[in-house]
Homo-oligomer: A and B are copies of this chain.
Amino acid sequence: MRTAAPVPTTAAPDLVLRCADLLEAVRARAPLVQCVTNTVVQNVTANVLLAVGASPAMVDVRTEAGPFARVADALLVNTGTPHEETRDAAVEAATAAVDAGTPWVLDPVAVGALPVRTALAHELLALRPTVLRGNASEVLALLDGAAGGRGTDATATTDDARAAARASAGRRVGAVAVSGPVDLVVAPDGTVVRVANGTDLLTRITGGGCALGAVVAAFASVTADPGDAAVAATVAYTVAAELAARDAGGPGTFQPLFLDRLASLTPEDLVERSRVSTEDGTGTADSTPAVPARSER
């Protein structure tokens, strides 16, 4: 099903334990996660947040989005269906989040060739999101000015986006999370983490990536480390998806089962099932940190 990552890696048991702790923290605190996201996936995003233990709030209108981002525990901004009022709300919310110290996630859906969202995504990137999450084509298009895919087509691989992500993590953004068959997270200090959990079914439903962005935001509200937040959210999300896939008859029945599994997911599930590794050699957390991890937010 999944191909092994080409870079030598080692298992990361401590990181997995932190993931389990962060899941417990999300459940305990029920963070209020504001979403300025596309209309295609608003419903599934809200349901995924509820299932994971967070409290969704789709506050995406002008003059409400900014003040709300000051009181929310986290913010997701997703550039799909960027209608005029939604764009204004996105910038307003991200600006307020930065000012108030609210952690926020940028998901630059289908950025690259499409002019409106590409300009919006660059404007948002300049505000330095806590986490940038996308597929490899989107991350490359935003960080390197690559042409991007058509729509949400991901033609690049996560490893194609590795260098761009490492050059930007801890500088232009906090962490970078690149979704793919093996998910790749680059922490602000340059550590590269790979998460090999998941199921192809997540790519056969709409919102499989978008809703993960919201979950990353939820986790970013319970830790000051954006890399840990991105890894823990990815692990929780993909482990639940894996469990759901075992009982699914296809992409339709997968969706309700996935919500059930997210809702019943335990920290122990993460410890037992996560397949998380960090790169060996240069770029590991302890040897060559680009910036101190704890300054991130």
Bin the interface of chain A by size. 35 or more
Q: Report the bound CA distance from A26 to B153 in whole Å.
A: 16
Name which of A37-45, A94-102, A135-143 contacts chain B.
Answer: A37-45
Q: Give per-residue flags for A74-95: 1 if the beta carbon is below 8 A from chain B beta carbons, else 0.
A: 0000001111111000000000
Q: Which of B50, B59, B113, B251 contacts A47 (CB 8 A)?
A: B251
Taking the closest CB of chain B, its distance from the CB of A41, in whole angstroms, is 7
Enumerate chain B residues within 8 angstroms of A110, measured Cβ to Cβ. Answer: 57, 59
Whether A184 sits at the interface, judged by CB under 8 Å, is no
Enumerate chain B residues within 8 angstroms of A115, measured Cβ to Cβ. Answer: 63-64, 67
Q: Which of B32, B57, B114, B207 contacts A64 (CB 8 A)?
A: B114
A residues 279-296 touching B (CB-CB < 8 Å): none
Q: Report the bound CA distance from A62 to B120 in whole Å.
A: 14
Q: Give per-residue flags for A112-138: 1 if the beta carbon is below 8 A from chain B beta carbons, else 0.
A: 011111000000000000000000000
Enumerate chain B residues within 8 angstroms of A113, measured Cβ to Cβ. Answer: 67, 71
A207 touches B63 (CB 8 A): no
Whether A19 sits at the interface, judged by CB under 8 Å, is no
Enumerate chain B residues within 8 angstroms of A43, measured Cβ to Cβ. Answer: 40-41, 43-44, 206-207
Q: Which residue of B lies closest to A207 (CB)?
A: B43
B81 touches A83 (CB 8 A): no
Whether A250 sits at the interface, judged by CB under 8 Å, is yes
Number of copies of this kind of chain in the complex: 3
A residues 190-225 touching B (CB-CB < 8 Å): 204-207
Whether A180 sits at the interface, judged by CB under 8 Å, is no
Whether A58 sits at the interface, judged by CB under 8 Å, is yes
A206 touches B47 (CB 8 A): yes
Q: Which of B32, B86, B254 contacts A153 (CB 8 A)?
A: B32
Whether A274 sits at the interface, judged by CB under 8 Å, is no
Whether A150 sits at the interface, judged by CB under 8 Å, is yes
Q: Which residue of B lies closest to A73 (CB)?
A: B150
A253 touches B250 (CB 8 A): no
Q: Report the bound CA distance from A44 to B62 in whole Å.
A: 25
Whether A103 sits at the interface, judged by CB under 8 Å, is no
Binding site for B on A (CB under 8 A): 32, 38-44, 46-47, 50-51, 55-64, 67-68, 71-72, 80-86, 110, 113-117, 150-153, 204-207, 248-264
**9 A/B residue pairs, CB under 8 Å, sorted by A:** A51-B250, A51-B251, A57-B150, A61-B81, A61-B84, A61-B116, A68-B114, A83-B83, A253-B256
Beyond A32-B150, A60-B81, 15 extra complex contacts between A and B, CB < 8 Å: A40-B42, A41-B43, A43-B206, A43-B207, A51-B251, A57-B110, A58-B80, A59-B114, A61-B84, A62-B84, A249-B257, A250-B263, A252-B258, A252-B261, A252-B262
